[in-house]
Structure 1
Amino acid sequence: MIPTTASAPSELEALTQFLYMAPIGLVQATIDGEIVMINPMSAQLLMPLSRDGDLANLFEALGDICPDLRHRAQSYPDPHGKVCDDLHLQIHTGASKRGGPQTLSLTLLKLDSMRLMAVLSDVSLAVQRERALRQSQAWIDTIVAGITDYALTSLDRDGRVRCWNASVGRVTGFAAEPSIGRPYSLFYPEGALSGARVLDRMHEARRDGWSLDEGWLLRADGTRFWGSCLIAPLDLVEEPRPGEPAFSLIIRDISERKGAHDALHQSVSCDHLTGLVNRRAFFEAANFELQRWQRMPRPLSLVLIDADHFKAINDTHGHAAGDTVLRQLAVAMGETFRGMDVIARVGGEEFAILLPGTDGEGARAVAARLGQLIEAQTVEVDGASIRYTVSAGTAAMEPGVDSIEDLMKRADTALYAAKTNGRNRVVCWTDDLANGTGMLAPGTHATPLPPKVEPLRRNVTMSAPNWLRSVSICPKTPTFIPPPGVMLLSASSSSSLSGKSTNV
């Protein structure tokens, strides 16, 4: 609004009051430094610097702490602009009201060829805080640089690494360039941590205050080590923007504890014949995945596998041969399914595989690949060559399935249909199977297994002697993360499969 002639005096009075009350110092001076106008805050800041109590010239007032200011102003080439911006000037003859040395911030503007504007403020407290922050950061950096079995870094809200330090390189071998900006899953073996699981752990840490797991971690050279991985949210006043640090990540090398961990895990969570997850641990993992699905629905599937005519193998070759077949089948499943899948022995010759992040079609495809692999292999036991096949039933999580038991019943019904309709095939659950007869309705998705074997991730030799020389599968299989404070021993499920017999 342009003031009228009548309102000009009041507007001038308001402007004068504004300049008088401003919490920063404002000075107008000539190009030679002669002060034309000065507000009280400027006088308060500059008076202690004056040798004779006179504030006639800005350059002379600041001569002891900024002797080159006159030269800067008079040699500034542009017709107008900032001669200097937030220049910190240390005052050695005084102290701030809060104690410690006083520091002034000076911004000098060239208005035109004849006029200058100086903006002054006392930034002593801010400088002290910055110094304390730098000291704290140096202290933390010293600690981080000195530790040998921990790696500390920060993550953004999407789980991407935001910084690198010597501890990360020392524990994992990863350098800064291949680390920063990538999901922290780069510290895990391939397939052990999906993108969805990365976000799950961010959510768990934000909800519970932390998220902790133990398992195999990866070094830059491809070797593995047994480690713990803790994620904790940073205590921030505001929600971090994309790309800003939001979580702390602490990785610890606990390889020396792996022996004790494996012994406990083997006794509590593993099937002693096959080395796979046992029924109890499977239901704990499955119910935890169900809770995740209920919070944030995403693909989740179940596959049930049953060895065909297994009773005939036991009757013909003996129970020792049957045990070898089951161990061979366990190894094949460990090589076919992903590291993040939960593979368990839930019955005599029946196995369950929970596939987070996999839909029904994906479950069918991987079950078919396993069936083709098994059909093409031979198990050698005491000079006898044993060939066998497997049948599979699959079911996918969807609205209306309220429990893992319901999902198991669907997969078990599909498995029953696979065995009733000729074995050596994969059947996917559909509502048509709910009649309970086991006979497939027209159009039901059943996949007979041809003898051709689809390629796997790795070359696998499945003979019994090779299996006996291999390590237990169990420690790498259960990649589920129990919620904070819940140990594996906390609960078990006594839920059973449906009453139908699958040994038909």
Structure 2
Amino acid sequence: MSAHSGTQDLAVEHEALLQFLYLAPVGLVQTSAAGEVELMNPLSAQLLMPLSKDGGLANLFKVLESVAPELRGMAEDFISPQGAICEGFRAQLTGGIRGKEEPKMLGISLIKLAPDRLMAVLTDMTQVIAQERQLKYNTAWLNAITAGVTDYALMSLDHDGRIQEWNPSIGRVTKFTAKEVVGKYFSVFYKDQGISIDRMTDYLREADEDGWSLSEGWRMKGDGSRFWSSSMIVPIEEMVAETGGGAPSVLQEEKRYALIIRDITARTRDAGARLNAMSTDYLTGIANRRTLFESAELELKRWHRHPRPLSLMIIDADFFKKVNDTYGHAAGDLVLCDLASALGESMREIDTVSRIGGEEFAALLPSTDSEGAFQLAERFRKRVEAACVTFEGGEIKYTISIGISVMDESVRGFDDLLARADTALYIAKETGRNKVEIWNGLKRALRT
């Protein structure tokens, strides 16, 4: 074969590759190890352009920083010369509007082709969210009713959520005695302040409306140890005879519930790495953006069912770029981890704390009004201001700015609530930083 013929063959192969790239039903992006874009098909540009703050698509990691800050670190820490860095990573783009618009999700698979070359595969996952949510509920239901007879506790609750009767399964799973639980709210199985009256009511009302209420999380045993539980509440209607004044008895309908608590600690431990990767931020270990949006969707659904205070805090590390430029990215990562740790320690168990962007964090606060959120934010701001991060023998001081928004009838969805908190955060930073501001409906802050 002549050199000319070989060149023609290569040109044909190159042309075929370009056609595949541009006609592929998924977004394809080839980048350098640092994320600098070398090739990108039109679908990728369509998916990524709404995420670009400056309209540019020169660096994939920069474009995705606001929705998937973990990706850069995952790529940097992947030491093999080739292989899958992540498969099916999901970045939450929007929260949607209840009853009108589905949440938008971007699926990302990142592959290392060579030491200096990456390929990203991008897919719009919006259409599968509702299907997966229903599948999750169906699976939880099947797990709850097909378990072995030794790993669940079954108990009856009255209409307010108080445990009515004792049976051996309760003691076997939870290590509580009859005296410790009968007549108590089912919150007895939660750590102190782990569940509020509002949240207990939510679970009961969700059982009324949906036929069951499902939840997972840490629960406490009577001996002080904890276990990872899958809990299901199912409404039960009973006819009770009521008599009085010598009149004939009358059957009255009485609302009750059945509570099934399962200890799935062992199963969760086996699947822990996968679940952790899906729900937590790669760098800081707290919840990621996707988890925040999922929690917000549920909290807004509860709010529309039974309105009560709900607040959102957005936290941003002040002058973070200066920290990176002065001390290096390793120091910057340490500051972010310190901020995440302090945030998690400062909030309640029912709050959702997450990292949602580069140096931006959020806390979703159920049953918290604007004044309560402001006081909590102020305490946290002062805690950060008074502390420091030790790095290579030196100390790094940093501060934070916080924006707060509060749920009300004018909020169209979580995206709207998030935008309001972002506006308040912007005002806090523009008016001096190291302060807390609240959005008040006029796109300016209540407090200065």
Q: Which residue of 433, 440, 453 corresponds with 2:443?
A: 433
Q: Which residue of 268, 286, 292 corresponds with 2:296?
A: 286
2:368 counterpart letter in structure 1: T
CA deviations on 1:110-169 (whole Å, 9 max, x unpaired) are: xxxxxxxxxxxxxxxxxxxxxxxxxxxxxxxxxxxx953221110011111111122212
1:427 counterpart letter in structure 2: E
User: 2:198 matched to which residue of 1?
Assistant: 196
Give 1:3-402 correspondences, 5 Å limit.
147-237=149-239, 246-402=256-412
Distance 1:147 1:401, change over 3 A: same
TM-score (norm 1): 0.56
Distance 1:238 1:203, change over 3 A: farther
Question: CA separation in 2, counterparts of 1:169 and 1:178?
Answer: 10
**CA offset at residue 205 of structure 1?**
1.2
Question: CA separation in 1, counterparts of 2:209 and 2:240?
Answer: 16
Distance 1:239 1:360, change over 3 A: farther
8 Å CA contact 1:152, 1:248 repeated in 2:
yes
Distance 1:422 1:153, change over 3 A: same
User: 2:18 matched to which residue of 1?
Assistant: none
CA deviations on 1:250-285 (whole Å, 9 max, x unpaired) are: 111111112234222212111100112111221121
Structure with greater Cα Rg: 1
User: 2:415 matched to which residue of 1?
Assistant: 405
8 Å CA contact 1:308, 1:389 repeated in 2:
yes
User: 1:424 matched to which residue of 2?
Assistant: 434
User: 2:124 matched to which residue of 1?
Assistant: none
Runs of 5+ unmatched residues, structure 2: 1-147, 243-250
SS at 1:347 equivalent:
coil
2:405 counterpart letter in structure 1: A
Question: CA separation in 1, counterparts of 2:191 and 2:267?
Answer: 19
SS at 2:361 equivalent:
strand
Distance 1:328 1:292, change over 3 A: same
Number of aligned residues: 293
Runs of 5+ unmatched residues, structure 1: 1-145, 435-439, 447-504
| Identity of matched residues, % | 49
Distance 1:199 1:243, change over 3 A: farther
- Greater per-residue strand proportion: 2
SS at 2:443 equivalent:
helix
**CA offset at residue 235 of structure 1?**
4.5
Question: CA separation in 2, counterparts of 1:181 and 1:220?
Answer: 16
SS at 1:236 equivalent:
strand
CA RMSD of aligned residues (A): 2.2
CA deviations on 1:178-223 (whole Å, 9 max, x unpaired) are: 2122110110122222111111111111222211211101012221
Question: CA separation in 1, counterparts of 2:368 and 2:266?
Answer: 35
Question: CA separation in 1, counterparts of 2:397 and 2:241?
Answer: 60
SS at 1:268 equivalent:
helix
Question: CA separation in 2, counterparts of 1:207 and 1:239?
Answer: 26
1:314 counterpart letter in structure 2: N
Question: CA separation in 1, counterparts of 2:270 and 2:425?
Answer: 38
Question: CA separation in 2, counterparts of 1:422 and 1:177?
Answer: 56
8 Å CA contact 2:296, 2:414 repeated in 1:
yes
Question: CA separation in 2, counterparts of 1:151 and 1:195?
Answer: 22
Question: CA separation in 2, counterparts of 1:200 and 1:238?
Answer: 25
Question: CA separation in 1, counterparts of 2:422 and 2:374?
Answer: 14
8 Å CA contact 1:213, 1:228 repeated in 2:
yes
Runs of 4+ in 1 over 4 A off after TM superposition: 237-245
8 Å CA contact 1:279, 1:345 repeated in 2:
yes
SS at 2:281 equivalent:
coil
